[in-house]
Amino acid sequence: MAELEALTVSAPATSANLGPGFDCLAVALDLGNAVVITRRPGPLEVRVTGEGAGELPEDGSNLVCRALASGLPSLDDLAVECRNRIPLGRGLGSSSAAVCAGLVAANALGGLRWTPDELLARATAFEGHADNAAACIAGGMVAVRPGPAWVLVPAPEELAFVAVIPEARTSTDASRRALPAEVPLADAAATLAHAVGLTLALAEGRLDDLAELLDDRLHEPHRAAAVPGLETLRGLVGRAGCLGATISGSGPAVLLWCRRDDAEALAAEAERALAAAGVPGRARPSRVSAAGVRARWTGGADLRLARAVG
């Protein structure tokens, strides 16, 4: 194989749970990070630009590098540049993007030939749950099942989102600590029915049914207090083209569901609503990213390795 000059790995943002699909449903969004890895003599060098610059570590403790090191004997002779666009601590899968990018880079650099299922198992070991990682690896919308493994959930072409991203942050650990150890059986049954109904409605293109089906009783009621502006944003459902509102992952970002033609206007309306509520933040129109994490080479590298993630 010709000597590798550089490898670029792209990993999408993700939104997990999607209302009633707690730890089971997730979607890849058309916003992502890129990791550029160059071989040159010398010790490991790490640089972070964009989101997290000056905050994330620029050494081997960086999450990308930790994932990379899980498959390589040494990170010497590598320069790693993390070009981040996914906001940190907002529930948009920034850690999954870092882990999956690092694993795919290790897979390619080391010629490891990990399958997509093996990548997911390794990512889940880092993350503790598989939903974000599955969407990041596979792209599109996914349902996670034990294994871990995923099944693609068909999403209508006209489906779009507005990611409402407050300045406030939260941590997944803190958000999970807010959840009860037990829930009433009626709440579990209702949420399960909504999750099944949601996947069927999406497969059949019944977007007008989303408002009722996105209702959750397992996690959103317990996380709502840590999501600034949530009730204001929920008030948009049924107007401005908003079909539903869900907490993105552990929050505090909120995903507004809409049709593509309504996304720009809904984003503007969401920003006005946040401003009126005194909540600093921004709204970004988003679509489903059909592509999951991907690697491409520059230089004379063997391009077959870039297809190791399927």
Instruction: Give the residue carrying structure tokens 């390619």.
Output: 108
Average pLDDT (72-79) is 96
Whether residues 96 and 22 fall in one domain: yes
pLDDT surpassing 60 at residue 31: yes
Q: Are residues 90 and 187 in the same domain?
A: no
> Which of 250, 206, 201, 243 has its CA nearest to residue 224?
250
Same domain, 115 and 185: no
Give the other-Cβ count within 10 Å of 47's Cβ.
13
Can you spell out the DSSP letters for the chain? -PPEEEEEEEEEEEEESTTT-TTTEEEEEEEEEEEEEEE-SSS-EEEEEETTTTTS-SSTTSHHHHHHHTT-S--TTEEEEEEE-SPTTSSS-HHHHHHHHHHHHHHHHTT----HHHHHHHHHHHHSSSHHHHHHHH-SEEEEETTTEEEEEP--TTEEEEEEEES----HHHHHHTS-S---HHHHHHHHHHHHHHHHHHHHT-GGGHHHHT--SSSHHHHGGGSTTHHHHHTTBTSTTB-EEEE-TTSS-EEEEEEGGGHHHHHHHHHHHHHHTT--EEEEEE-B-S--SEEEEEES--GGGGGTT-
For residue 39, is pLDDT > 50?
A: yes
Q: Give the pLDDT confidence score for residue 209 in this predicted structure.
A: 96
pLDDT in tens, 132-187: 999 999 999 999 999 899 999 999 999 999 999 999 887 767 777 888 889 999 99
187 and 58 belong to one structural domain:
no
Number of domains in the chain: 2
Residue 109 sits in the same domain as residue 18:
yes
308 pLDDT more than 70: no
* Domain coverage including residue 212: 159-286
Same domain, 68 and 207: no
Same-domain status, 37 and 135: yes
Claim to verify: residue 59 and residue 96 sit in the same structural domain? yes
**Mean per-residue pLDDT for 194-208?**
96
Chain mean position to CA 35:
16
Looking at the fold, whether 17 and 147 belong to one and the same domain comes out as yes
Q: Are residues 95 and 8 in the same domain?
A: yes
Mean pLDDT, all residues of the chain: 92
User: What's at 254, amino acid-wise?
Assistant: V
The answer on pLDDT for 300 being more than 70 is: no
Q: What pLDDT is recorded for position 168?
A: 85
- Same domain assignment for residues 11 and 140: yes
Query: What pLDDT was estimated at residue 177?
Result: 81
34 and 104: one domain?
A: yes
Q: From CA 6, how far away is CA 77, in angstroms rounded?
A: 12
**Range 195-224 average pLDDT:** 95
Q: Are 164 and 84 in contact (CB under 8 A)?
A: no
Q: What is the pLDDT of residues 221-254, one digit of tens each?
A: 999 988 999 999 999 999 999 999 999 999 999 9
| CATH number of the domain residue 265 falls in | 3.30.70.890
Tell me the CATH number at 27.
3.30.230.10
